[in-house]
Chain A
């Protein structure tokens, strides 16, 4: 007896698919966002979402109705990401080059390739910290759901998130101390954030950004 028989009954199975399909459809944008955060790359992120949708579709009978479909899908996506990457590493190193060769196309603006310092800094975090921070800090998952997705306990997720935040701040502070690179030009929000970060930095202001600073500190 399959799971579908149990929860739906044979006669209603035909209507189960459209529900599952529309739920899946509505969650695709979130899968894309999570995938983008894992891969840091537009194209491989959508490839990953494709694989995830196929896997989810094939194993939808194992999804327990009433539980968190989003978390279930994120789990599949994450597993797929790591197993793809393991395979890529075993085969050839060129996949990594492919991931890095992608310059900032316009579609990449929202994630990682070029826009904000935070996006760049995020790439420097260990995977486990980055994914925990994204799930909790951006994806809105509870620590408990995040723990289920990354298969560890809640305490571990909490400490990973905390370490990720700390590390990001440290990286951004280091970047602020560097001579000016080009600052993001598009995006009011990014500019705003940078202005806030600059204003908050207690020392070592970035030079040459053209931002006004009040030199009220004692010399």
Chain B
């Protein structure tokens, strides 16, 4: 019986450890993308929207 208990304990410890490993791996993937440089197209897009905005503001005010 105590053998079962310790086996169950081992099993749930193993599961928890697996979950932690998976958590680390998920964060590694996510953080990997976060740390990539932002592509120029996206920066350009922001700039263009900003400029377009200023233009319309000038016209309307």
Contacts and interface: CB of A to CB of B under 8 A. Distances in A.
Interface of A: 13-14, 17-18, 21, 24-25, 28-30, 32-33, 36-37, 46, 49-50, 53-54, 57, 109-112, 115-116, 118-119, 122, 133-134, 137-139, 165, 168-169, 172, 189-190, 193, 196-197, 200-202
Contacts of A112: 29
Contacts of A115: 29
Interface of B: 10-11, 14-15, 17-19, 21-36, 38-39, 41-43, 45-46, 49-50, 53-54, 57
A36 B33 contact: yes
Main secondary structure of the interface of A (DSSP, over half): helix
A196 B24 CA distance: 11
B30 A21 contact: no
Contacts of B54: 17
Contacts, number: 108
Contacts of A197: 18, 21
Contact of B29 (A138, A168, A200): A138
A118 B34 contact: no
Contact of A193 (B15, B25, B36): B25
A200 B30 contact: no
Nearest to A34: B30
B21 A193 contact: yes
A200 B11 CA distance: 9
Given A14-B57, A36-B33, A50 B45 contact: yes
A53 to B, nearest CB: 6
Contacts of B34: 29-30, 32-33
A134 B35 contact: no
| Best-buried of B10, B24, B26, B42 by chain A (most CB within 10 Å) | B26
Contact of A37 (B21, B23, B30): B30
B42 A49 contact: yes
